[in-house]
Amino acid sequence: MEPESSSVRIPPFLSDTPMQGDPSCDWADFLSPQLRRFPRAYYKVTMRNRLGHGIEGCVARVKFDDDNSSFALKIFFNTVPDGDRANSWWPLEREARNVAVLEKIQAGIRQSSPKPIHVPAKRTTRLDCLRCLYAFSADGRRSRDFDALPDDSKVAVSDSDTRLRKCFGWTRVQGADFMRMNNIIKVDEYARRKGEGCASYLESDAQYYAIVYEYVPEAKLEFDPVQSQLDFFYRIGFHPCQGMHKVNWQGPGILLDFGDYNSPVDPWFKARCAYHKHTTAEYIIDRTKALEESSAEWDRINNLRHQGIGPTEEEKRKREKEKAQSNTARFVEYGYDEHQRYLSYFELTNEEILERKLELDPLSQIRINGVEPETVIRAWKTYKNQKKKYLAAFGPKTEIKEV
């Protein structure tokens, strides 16, 4: 393994600052998260055993230097995005930004202790999710915007709520040190030919980005710790970006893969799903049972429909409520859309959009400039331009769409 060199350019979502002490928790840094570097600049890495792989990368249990402590090293297959690089799915980018934000949240909780941090109890839009996240920033902890909310409209988050997997920063590794990983990597040739995301073999002469994590020993999952972790991600404003799988969890209830979530400070956050109820522990631990119950409910509804029996009044009210929540999320997301694509969809003017947002927003009286669209979009534009400059060194496929 080679020592880090400050002369080597790194992506804008990584920082060359060693991960020592708490990170900056200013809201501006939440909007432009950077994962700090693994603090050991010169070391030898020894691979102990292979833990697994997915389409994003592979994970090995390792030790550094003569320290016998075990770490989990996640090696990412792609140094740059595939295809239309600047606008393509880039697992390293998503996970590094997520972990950087989570590090700030945990620091904010520690710095606020023993006083808990209050967040809105319900979230239906990106704006709500950003409000939740803002509460953990240094700015949010000074203003304490949600402390005065009624007890049934707020939730307290403290240091004892859940234990996240520790991250020790990013690093670069040589493929030659991990060639044994290729023995377990399975490449989906069909997906590769179609240009879809898939695993790839490590090359001995290549260098890869990796994130150093705490090694979590295998243990049985338990309902309460898993639910506590899921509740925590919901309260901080994160949203699952893909189906959550049991293999990405370790006992008693620790999420291993932070790439399973999206953060509301990211442009690719699925705002239309922000109003959905968060995933339950039952779905993680016993998905078969959860799917069977869901399927049984669909069968019941379809059978009634075939018999000419329509939904009950309660079901109608539930559907109308879900429709209203979905439209609210879309109305609010319109403000965060850089290209104003939703205007023609709703056939509404800017003034009508604003009026509808305020009408459907129970927290409209709490105005936080840092989470308003103009502030967030400005941060996205700055980040995208930094990303454009970084990727320009890798060839013509790195053209980024103008913002």
pLDDT in tens, 268-287: 887 776 766 678 888 888 86
For residue 403, the model assigns a pLDDT of 34
Tell whether the model's pLDDT for residue 62 goes beyond 60: yes
Please say whether the beta carbons of 211 and 243 come within 8 A: no
Least confident segment among 50-59, 168-177, 228-237, 284-293: 284-293
The answer as to whether 133 is a domain residue is: yes
- The pLDDT, as a whole number, for residue 274 is 72
- Rounded to whole angstroms, the Cα distance separating 382 from 196 reads 29
Question: What is the amino acid identity at position 301?
Answer: I
Full residue range of the structural domain in which residue 180 is found: 14-282+371-398
Q: Is the pLDDT of residue 38 over 60?
A: yes
- How much is the average pLDDT of 168-190? 91
Instruction: Domain count for the chain, please give it.
Output: 1
Whether residue 336 is contained in a domain is answered as no
What's the mean pLDDT in 85-106? 88
pLDDT of residue 292: 55
328 or 385: whose pLDDT is higher? 385
Pair 109, 117: CB distance under 8 Å = yes
Q: Which residues contact 212 (CB under 8 A, 6 or more apart)?
A: 38, 71, 72, 73, 167, 168, 169, 170, 171
Per-residue pLDDT reduced to its tens digit, 319-334 = 777 777 676 677 677 6
Higher-pLDDT residue of 257 and 352 is 257
Task: Please say if the pLDDT value at position 165 is more than 80.
Answer: yes
Mean pLDDT of 170-187: 92
Structure tokens at 282: 């039952």
Instruction: Assess if residue 313 is contained within a domain.
Output: no
Sign of CA dihedral 276, 279, 280, 282: positive
Residue 147 has pLDDT above 90, yes or no: yes
For residue 347, pLDDT over 80 is answered with no
Q: What is the arithmetic mean of pLDDT over 205-217? A: 95
Report the range of poorest mean pLDDT among 61-70, 186-195, 270-279: 270-279
Which amino acid, one-letter code, is at 387? Answer: K
396 has a pLDDT exceeding 70: no
Q: Which amino acid is at 158?
A: S
Quick one: pLDDT at residue 17?
A: 95
306 domain-assigned: no
Q: Is 293 part of any domain?
A: no
- Would the pLDDT of 71 be above 60? yes
Reported as a pLDDT band with limits 50, 70 and 90, residue 183 is very high
Q: Is residue 341 part of a domain?
A: no
Query: What is the pLDDT at residue 401?
Result: 40
Q: What is the pLDDT of residue 139?
A: 98
CB 202 within 8 A of CB 58: yes
pLDDT over threshold 80, residue 22: yes
Q: 3-class secondary structure for the chain?
A: CCCCCCCCCCCCCEEEEECCCCCCCCHHHHHCCCEEECCCCCCCEEEEEEEEECCCEEEEEEEECCCCCCEEEEEECCCCCCCCHHHCCCHHHHHHHHHHHHHHHHHHHHHHCCCCEEEECCCCCHHHHHHHHHCCCHHHHHHCCCCCCCHHHEEEECCCCCCCCCEEEEEEEEHHHHHHHHHCCCCCHHHHHCCCCCCCCCCCCCEEEEEEEECCCCCCCCHHHHHHHHHHHHHCCCEECCCCCHHHEECCCEECCHHHEECCCCCCCCHHHCCCCCCCHHHHHCHHHHHHHHHHHHHHHHHHHHCCCCCCHHHHHHHHHHHHHHHHHHHHHHHHCCCCCHHHHHCCCHHHHHHHHHHHCCCCCCCCHHHCHHHHHHHHHHHHHHHHHHHHHHCHHHCCCCC
Domain-located, residue 304: no
| pLDDT top residue among 302 and 208 | 208
pLDDT at 358 over 70: no
Q: What percent of the chain has pLDDT over 90?
A: 51
Q: Tell me whether residue 246 is in a domain.
A: yes
Confidence class for position 103, pLDDT limits 50, 70, 90: very high
**Mean pLDDT (the chain, rounded):** 84
CB 182 within 8 A of CB 201: yes
